[in-house]
Amino acid sequence: MVRLSGIFCPIPTPFRSDDTVDERALRSNVARWMHTPLVGLVVLGSNGEAPQLDDEEADRIVAIVRGEVPRDRVLVAGTGRESTKATIAASRRAAAAGVDAVIVRTPSFFKPQMTSEAFVRHYTEVADASPVPILLYNVAMYTGVNLLPDAVEPLASHPNIVGMKESGGDIGQVAELVARTPRGFAVLAGSATTLFHALCAGCDGAVLALAALLPDECVNLWTLVREGRLDEARASQRRLTPIARAVGSTHGVPGLKAALDLLGFVGGPPRAPLRPAGTQVIEEIRRQLDALGVLPTARV
């Protein structure tokens, strides 16, 4: 059984200036996250710039990270592709590389045809074929399609589908997912700006880019809600919201990588057409991290 409760981090992919994967940086970043209370890592997610990697790069990244993550942490790899066929192939490769589970972003190109019925068939075929458990992954902000509770409910009873990540901030939809899926099916939030609300709504945990920067704070917020300490949890959310927004919808992966650089990780440049955060954005993020008291002393 994969443990899918608590806070996960979807790790970015560091690139060198020649646009190749910086494997050494990847290793050192992962090693550092292993000293935090994160339950596990997600490689090749949206924040890992997965849609911009080729299959060889992707496979290599999984192998490297697997080497750094001990077995008592959970390692999940993103394997969503536009075709069912390619998704199954990627899931098998990731399973062979030793991941604990795969997380499968919705296909999304042919939007009008991506009905709940199409999603149910797609995920059923992937789950049937995958050697490891799968998680559904809904990220409408990037895909422009919405995996609705009407599709998730039937999929949640498939023995090889163990949970989902819902990145949207529509709290009604999050609550409906929790209500319409069985207890053993993990609903993980994906939006750090509404983390507190999603946990109140009954989410088991979250997969948060913000957790790459502030793992202790994210885990703490999760714990506060678990213990029913609402006022403290709400206050914690308020402190985190500005930086969550900056490295989320506002500045995206470039913002996240800039923040990692400021914290002593290796963020590095994103892959084009993404562009590195500009000076003003870096300064804005620096101020937000400073206000939280997490900047390395030398930098303040």
Query: Looking at beta carbons only, is 205 or 252 nearer to a copy of itself?
Result: 252
For 291, phi then psi, to 5°, come to: -60, -25
CA distances to 23, 57, 190, 201 from 198, rounded to whole Å, are 34, 33, 9, 5
| From candidates 1, 17, 35, 54, binder to a copy of itself by CB under 8 A | 54
Could you tell me the smallest distance in angstroms from the CB atom of residue 217 to a copy of itself?
17
Rounded least distance, CB 284 to a copy of itself, Å: 15
Q: Could you tell me if 29 and 266 are in contact, meaning their C-beta atoms sit under 8 angstroms apart?
A: yes
Minimum distance, C-beta of residue 74 to a copy of itself, in the bound complex (Å): 25
Interface positions, 248-277, toward a copy of itself (CB under 8 A): 249-250, 252-254, 271-275
CA neighbor of 83 nearest in space, from 114, 47, 128: 114
165 is catalytic: yes
List C-alpha distances in Å: 191 to 96, 106, 163.
30, 17, 16
Stretch that binds a copy of itself, among 28-36, 60-68, 96-104, 192-200 (CB under 8 A): 192-200
Exposed, middle or buried, 224 (CB in 10 Å: 0-12/13-18/19+)? buried
Size of the site for a copy of itself (CB under 8 A): 57
- Which range of residues in 27-35, 93-101, 173-181, 285-293 is near a copy of itself by CB under 8 A? 173-181
CB burial class (10 A; 0-12, 13-18, 19+) of residue 23? Answer: middle
Asked if 194 interacts with a copy of itself (CB under 8 A), we say yes
- Residue 125 sits in the site that holds a copy of itself (CB under 8 A): yes
- Per CB under 8 A, does 238 bind a copy of itself? yes
- DSSP, collapsed to helix, strand or coil, labels residue 225 as helix
Please tell me whether residue 85 binds a copy of itself under the rule CB under 8 A: yes
Q: Does residue 19 touch a copy of itself according to CB under 8 A?
A: yes
Strand ranges inside 83-214, DSSP E? 101-105, 134-138, 161-166, 186-189, 205-207
Residue closer to a copy of itself (CB basis): 54 or 72: 54
How far is Cα 252 from Cα 246, in angstroms, rounded to an integer? Answer: 7
What percent of the chain is helix, strand and coil (3-state, nearest 5)?
50, 15, 35
Part in contact with a copy of itself (CB under 8 A); list of ranges 67-75, 121-129, 155-163, 206-214: 121-129
Are 229 and 248 in contact, with CB atoms under 8 Å apart? no
Give the residue with the Cβ less far from a copy of itself, 49 or 217: 49
Residues that bind a copy of itself (CB under 8 A): 19, 46, 51-54, 82-86, 107, 109-114, 118-119, 121-122, 125, 141-144, 169-172, 175-176, 179, 193-194, 196-197, 200-202, 228, 230, 234, 237-238, 241, 249-250, 252-254, 271-275
Catalytic residue numbers, as ranges:
165
